[in-house]
Amino acid sequence: MDREFIIKNQIVERYIAGRLPPKGVTDFEKLIRSRPELIEELGLADKVNAGLRLLDAAGVAEPWAEKQKKVWEKPAFAFSAAALAAAALIGCAVLAMQVSSRDSAIAKLKLENHDRPIAPSTHKRTIIVGTARNGPPPQSSVSIASGDFAEFKTDLSWTHYGTFKVSIDRVNQGRVAVIDGITKDSNGHVRISLNAGAFGPGDYMVQLDGLNMRREGLPVAWFRFSVSR
């Protein structure tokens, strides 16, 4: 690389613009170090000054000027992010403690409910209950209280079935009991006895299925009762 080659191939301009290949940059810089007089001969200083004036006119900072930091690179942003992270960790810790406390309370209530003794019945009640034949009734027709030992007596003399399966469900919750093989008495009544204290407050649906010779059930009657506190 010599002076004529530099002028002919616009090495100075390409060097300033950053368009020289790596080997060209190395060779050009090596040549300038060995022959510094070429800086003046090639007008390199003037071209650099002209380029700086253009940058200044365009409002572009010099290459060696300190670049303005982005928002996330500033210390204030780092401190804010750290504060938010700390707040999030504290919030998660508080939520975890609340969930743990809630789970402990639920477990305690379940244990208390499991260990709670059934309240003994204080008196017996015999209640004649009418049944619905077209499906579960929308509301309770009879109410019993804790302490009652209730005997529900319902007239099923109108059906040809003699043996029944009785299912008791707590409304909107789940099945409580199934009693299989109950038969009608001589008056055609089916009797169901239960301790109200064993069921707890709420509404209960009773379904009576007539059983055929193969012990297959068909719903024939329903009634609904409630247990008060």
pLDDT in tens, the chain (229 residues): 677 787 787 777 787 777 888 888 888 788 878 887 777 777 777 777 766 676 666 666 655 555 565 655 666 666 677 777 777 778 777 777 777 777 777 777 666 555 556 666 678 889 999 999 999 999 998 999 878 888 999 999 999 999 999 999 999 988 988 999 999 999 999 999 988 888 878 899 999 999 998 989 999 999 999 998 7
- Reported as half-sphere exposure (CB side, CA atoms, 13 A), residue 51 has a value of 15
Strands 189-195 vs 174-183: parallel, antiparallel or unpaired: unpaired
Has domain 123-228 been given CATH number 3.40.50.2000?
Answer: no
Domain boundaries, the chain: 3-57, 71-115, 123-228
Kind plus residue range of the DSSP H or E element containing 193 = strand 189-195
The answer to whether 199 and 227 have CB atoms below 8 angstroms apart is: yes
- Bridge partners of residue 143, in order along the sequence: 226
Is-above-0.75 flag for pTM? no
- Bridge partners of residue 133, in order along the sequence: none
Helices (H), the chain: 3-8, 11-17, 22-34, 38-41, 44-57, 75-115
